[in-house]
Amino acid sequence: MARGLFLTFEGIDGCGKTTQLALLSERLREAGHDVLETVEPGGTDAGRAIRGILLDPRHHALSARTELLLYFASRAQNVTEVISPALQRGATVLCDRFTDSTIVYQGAGRGLDEATILELHRIACGSIFPDLTILLDVDAETSLARARSRNRETGSEETRMDDEDGAFFARVREGYLRLAAREPKRIRVVDARGPVDVVAQNVWEEVNALV
Ligand SMILES: Nc1ncnc2c1ncn2[C@@H]1O[C@H](COP(=O)(O)OP(=O)(O)OP(=O)(O)O)[C@@H](O)[C@H]1O
Ligand SMILES: [Mg+2]
Protein backbone atom coordinates (compact mmCIF):
# COMPACT_ATOMS: atom_id res chain seq x y z
CA MET A 1 0.00 0.00 0.00
CA ALA A 2 1.20 3.53 -0.79
CA ARG A 3 2.42 5.61 2.12
CA GLY A 4 -0.18 8.16 3.24
CA LEU A 5 0.23 11.92 2.94
CA PHE A 6 1.68 13.91 5.79
CA LEU A 7 0.19 17.42 6.08
CA THR A 8 1.10 19.99 8.70
CA PHE A 9 -0.40 23.31 9.78
CA GLU A 10 1.85 26.19 10.74
CA GLY A 11 1.52 29.86 11.63
CA ILE A 12 1.71 32.23 14.57
CA ASP A 13 -0.36 31.68 17.73
CA GLY A 14 -4.05 32.23 17.14
CA CYS A 15 -3.87 32.27 13.32
CA GLY A 16 -6.43 29.43 13.17
CA LYS A 17 -4.40 26.19 12.85
CA THR A 18 -6.49 24.05 15.19
CA THR A 19 -9.73 25.39 13.69
CA GLN A 20 -8.65 24.72 10.11
CA LEU A 21 -7.14 21.32 10.88
CA ALA A 22 -10.48 20.15 12.29
CA LEU A 23 -12.39 21.44 9.24
CA LEU A 24 -9.96 19.86 6.79
CA SER A 25 -10.13 16.58 8.68
CA GLU A 26 -13.93 16.59 8.46
CA ARG A 27 -13.85 17.33 4.75
CA LEU A 28 -11.28 14.63 4.02
CA ARG A 29 -13.29 12.08 6.02
CA GLU A 30 -16.43 12.99 4.09
CA ALA A 31 -14.46 12.35 0.92
CA GLY A 32 -13.67 8.85 2.23
CA HIS A 33 -10.11 9.33 3.48
CA ASP A 34 -8.64 7.58 6.49
CA VAL A 35 -7.51 10.62 8.53
CA LEU A 36 -5.36 10.83 11.62
CA GLU A 37 -5.12 14.09 13.59
CA THR A 38 -2.26 14.86 15.90
CA VAL A 39 -0.50 17.82 17.50
CA GLU A 40 2.97 18.95 18.50
CA PRO A 41 4.01 19.15 21.20
CA GLY A 42 1.61 16.45 22.43
CA GLY A 43 0.00 13.73 20.40
CA THR A 44 0.95 10.87 22.73
CA ASP A 45 0.65 10.36 26.51
CA ALA A 46 4.35 11.10 26.95
CA GLY A 47 4.07 14.02 24.52
CA ARG A 48 1.24 15.56 26.53
CA ALA A 49 3.32 15.28 29.69
CA ILE A 50 6.18 17.02 27.88
CA ARG A 51 3.79 19.71 26.60
CA GLY A 52 2.77 20.25 30.22
CA ILE A 53 6.38 20.94 31.18
CA LEU A 54 6.92 23.32 28.24
CA LEU A 55 3.80 25.37 28.95
CA ASP A 56 4.04 25.43 32.74
CA PRO A 57 4.97 28.98 33.82
CA ARG A 58 6.96 27.47 36.71
CA HIS A 59 9.45 26.30 34.08
CA HIS A 60 9.88 29.67 32.36
CA ALA A 61 13.60 29.52 33.09
CA LEU A 62 14.19 26.39 30.98
CA SER A 63 17.32 26.82 28.90
CA ALA A 64 16.96 27.11 25.15
CA ARG A 65 18.65 23.73 24.67
CA THR A 66 16.45 21.99 27.22
CA GLU A 67 13.37 23.42 25.54
CA LEU A 68 14.61 22.32 22.11
CA LEU A 69 15.26 18.77 23.30
CA LEU A 70 11.84 18.56 24.92
CA TYR A 71 10.11 19.62 21.70
CA PHE A 72 12.01 16.94 19.83
CA ALA A 73 11.41 14.33 22.55
CA SER A 74 7.67 14.85 22.11
CA ARG A 75 8.03 14.71 18.33
CA ALA A 76 10.17 11.55 18.38
CA GLN A 77 7.51 9.71 20.36
CA ASN A 78 4.71 11.03 18.14
CA VAL A 79 6.53 9.89 14.99
CA THR A 80 7.25 6.43 16.40
CA GLU A 81 3.94 5.78 18.10
CA VAL A 82 1.43 7.62 15.90
CA ILE A 83 2.60 9.34 12.71
CA SER A 84 4.76 6.66 11.12
CA PRO A 85 2.35 3.75 11.67
CA ALA A 86 -0.54 5.83 10.28
CA LEU A 87 1.46 6.80 7.17
CA GLN A 88 2.43 3.14 6.72
CA ARG A 89 -1.20 2.05 6.65
CA GLY A 90 -1.91 4.73 4.04
CA ALA A 91 -3.72 7.24 6.26
CA THR A 92 -3.61 10.99 5.68
CA VAL A 93 -1.91 12.47 8.74
CA LEU A 94 -2.74 16.03 9.82
CA CYS A 95 -0.38 17.50 12.38
CA ASP A 96 -0.94 20.79 14.23
CA ARG A 97 2.62 22.26 14.21
CA PHE A 98 5.80 20.30 13.46
CA THR A 99 9.50 21.01 12.90
CA ASP A 100 8.88 24.26 10.99
CA SER A 101 7.53 25.68 14.28
CA THR A 102 10.81 24.81 15.98
CA ILE A 103 12.86 26.33 13.17
CA VAL A 104 10.91 29.57 13.31
CA TYR A 105 10.16 29.98 17.05
CA GLN A 106 13.41 28.64 18.46
CA GLY A 107 15.25 30.50 15.71
CA ALA A 108 13.46 33.84 16.11
CA GLY A 109 12.88 33.55 19.85
CA ARG A 110 15.97 31.76 21.11
CA GLY A 111 18.52 32.39 18.38
CA LEU A 112 19.17 28.67 17.79
CA ASP A 113 20.64 27.89 14.41
CA GLU A 114 18.72 25.95 11.84
CA ALA A 115 21.44 23.38 11.13
CA THR A 116 21.28 22.20 14.77
CA ILE A 117 17.50 22.01 14.63
CA LEU A 118 17.56 19.98 11.40
CA GLU A 119 20.16 17.62 12.83
CA LEU A 120 17.92 17.00 15.84
CA HIS A 121 15.00 16.49 13.49
CA ARG A 122 16.95 13.74 11.75
CA ILE A 123 17.71 12.06 15.08
CA ALA A 124 14.15 12.39 16.38
CA CYS A 125 12.09 11.86 13.24
CA GLY A 126 14.37 10.13 10.73
CA SER A 127 13.17 10.78 7.21
CA ILE A 128 9.63 11.80 8.23
CA PHE A 129 8.94 15.26 6.81
CA PRO A 130 5.67 16.88 5.69
CA ASP A 131 4.56 16.43 2.09
CA LEU A 132 2.55 19.62 2.37
CA THR A 133 2.55 22.41 4.93
CA ILE A 134 -0.25 24.94 5.15
CA LEU A 135 1.10 28.23 6.48
CA LEU A 136 -1.84 30.27 7.74
CA ASP A 137 -0.66 33.83 7.33
CA VAL A 138 -2.19 36.69 9.26
CA ASP A 139 -0.86 39.88 10.82
CA ALA A 140 0.33 39.70 14.42
CA GLU A 141 -2.41 42.01 15.78
CA THR A 142 -5.26 39.90 14.35
CA SER A 143 -3.66 36.69 15.53
CA LEU A 144 -3.01 37.99 19.01
CA ALA A 145 -6.60 39.25 19.26
CA ARG A 146 -7.92 35.83 18.18
CA ALA A 147 -5.71 33.96 20.63
CA ARG A 148 -6.67 36.30 23.49
CA SER A 149 -10.38 36.03 22.82
CA ARG A 150 -10.12 32.25 22.62
CA ASN A 151 -8.20 32.11 25.90
CA ARG A 152 -10.87 34.29 27.54
CA GLU A 153 -13.64 32.02 26.25
CA THR A 154 -11.99 28.76 27.25
CA GLY A 155 -10.25 30.01 30.39
CA SER A 156 -7.12 28.52 28.85
CA GLU A 157 -3.67 29.30 30.18
CA GLU A 158 -2.10 27.44 27.26
CA THR A 159 -0.56 30.38 25.48
CA ARG A 160 1.58 32.62 27.59
CA MET A 161 1.14 36.16 26.30
CA ASP A 162 2.34 39.54 27.39
CA ASP A 163 2.99 42.99 25.97
CA GLU A 164 6.04 41.97 23.97
CA ASP A 165 4.05 39.44 22.02
CA GLY A 166 3.04 41.76 19.19
CA ALA A 167 6.64 42.36 18.16
CA PHE A 168 7.59 38.74 18.76
CA PHE A 169 4.68 37.44 16.67
CA ALA A 170 5.65 39.82 13.87
CA ARG A 171 9.20 38.39 13.91
CA VAL A 172 7.90 34.85 13.90
CA ARG A 173 5.56 35.65 11.03
CA GLU A 174 8.49 37.01 9.00
CA GLY A 175 10.46 33.85 9.82
CA TYR A 176 7.64 31.68 8.49
CA LEU A 177 7.35 33.73 5.30
CA ARG A 178 11.10 33.43 4.69
CA LEU A 179 10.87 29.65 5.13
CA ALA A 180 7.93 29.50 2.71
CA ALA A 181 9.82 31.55 0.13
CA ARG A 182 12.63 29.00 0.30
CA GLU A 183 10.33 25.99 -0.05
CA PRO A 184 7.40 27.25 -2.11
CA LYS A 185 6.40 23.82 -3.33
CA ARG A 186 5.99 22.22 0.11
CA ILE A 187 4.90 25.26 2.11
CA ARG A 188 1.71 26.86 0.80
CA VAL A 189 0.89 30.26 2.21
CA VAL A 190 -2.85 30.68 2.81
CA ASP A 191 -4.26 34.10 3.65
CA ALA A 192 -5.88 33.57 7.07
CA ARG A 193 -7.43 37.03 7.56
CA GLY A 194 -10.86 36.19 6.16
CA PRO A 195 -13.77 34.37 7.78
CA VAL A 196 -13.25 30.73 8.83
CA ASP A 197 -15.17 29.23 5.88
CA VAL A 198 -13.29 31.30 3.29
CA VAL A 199 -9.94 30.27 4.77
CA ALA A 200 -11.15 26.64 4.87
CA GLN A 201 -11.98 26.76 1.17
CA ASN A 202 -8.52 28.12 0.36
CA VAL A 203 -6.92 25.39 2.46
CA TRP A 204 -9.04 22.78 0.68
CA GLU A 205 -7.90 23.99 -2.73
CA GLU A 206 -4.24 23.55 -1.75
CA VAL A 207 -4.86 20.10 -0.30
CA ASN A 208 -7.20 18.88 -3.00
CA ALA A 209 -4.46 19.32 -5.57
CA LEU A 210 -2.49 16.62 -3.71
CA VAL A 211 -5.00 14.07 -2.35
N1 LIG B 1 -10.70 32.97 10.20
C2 LIG B 1 -11.03 33.30 11.45
N3 LIG B 1 -11.70 34.42 11.72
C4 LIG B 1 -12.03 34.75 12.98
N5 LIG B 1 -11.74 34.01 14.06
C6 LIG B 1 -11.06 32.87 13.86
C7 LIG B 1 -10.67 32.45 12.56
N8 LIG B 1 -10.00 31.26 12.66
C9 LIG B 1 -9.99 30.96 13.97
N10 LIG B 1 -10.63 31.89 14.70
C11 LIG B 1 -10.79 31.93 16.15
O12 LIG B 1 -9.56 32.42 16.66
C13 LIG B 1 -9.18 31.68 17.82
C14 LIG B 1 -7.83 31.02 17.57
O15 LIG B 1 -7.99 29.99 16.61
P16 LIG B 1 -7.21 28.61 16.78
O17 LIG B 1 -7.28 28.14 18.18
O18 LIG B 1 -7.70 27.70 15.70
O19 LIG B 1 -5.73 29.13 16.42
P20 LIG B 1 -4.35 28.33 16.55
O21 LIG B 1 -3.54 28.77 15.39
O22 LIG B 1 -4.61 26.89 16.71
O23 LIG B 1 -3.75 28.96 17.88
P24 LIG B 1 -2.54 28.37 18.80
O25 LIG B 1 -1.28 28.59 18.04
O26 LIG B 1 -2.60 29.21 20.03
O27 LIG B 1 -2.85 26.92 19.04
C28 LIG B 1 -10.31 30.72 18.10
O29 LIG B 1 -11.18 31.30 19.05
C30 LIG B 1 -11.00 30.56 16.76
O31 LIG B 1 -12.35 30.25 16.90
MG1 LIG C 1 -4.04 25.55 18.20
Take atom 9 of ligand 1 and give the residue whose Cα is closest. Answer: 16
Higher pLDDT, 166 or 117: 117
- 164: in domain: yes
What does the pLDDT look like over 138-195, one tens digit per residue? 999 999 999 999 988 888 765 555 656 788 899 999 999 999 999 999 999 999 999 9
CB 190 within 8 A of CB 19: no
Q: How many domains does the chain have?
A: 1
For residue 2, the model assigns a pLDDT of 86
Contact 40, 71 (CB under 8 A): yes
On whether residue 25 sits in a domain, the answer given is: yes
For residue 163, how far is the Cα from the chain centroid? 23
Cβ–ligand 1 contact at 202 (below 6 Å):
no
Q: Which atom of ligand 1 is nearest to the CA of 136?
A: 21
Is residue 1 assigned to a domain? no
- Ligand 1 center from residue 149 Cα (angstroms): 9
Domain hosting 21: range is 6-208
**pLDDT above 80: residue 1:** no
Residue bearing the CA closest to ligand 1, atom 13: 146
> Cα angle vertex 151, ends 147, 157, to 5°?
115
Residue 75 lies in a domain: yes
Q: Which residue, by CA, sits nearest to atom 28 of ligand 1?
A: 150
The domain that contains 151 carries what CATH number? 3.40.50.300
Are 139 and 202 a contacting pair, CB within 8 Å?
Answer: no
Instruction: List, for residues 2-35, the tens digit of each pLDDT value.
Output: 899 999 999 999 999 999 999 999 999 999 999 9
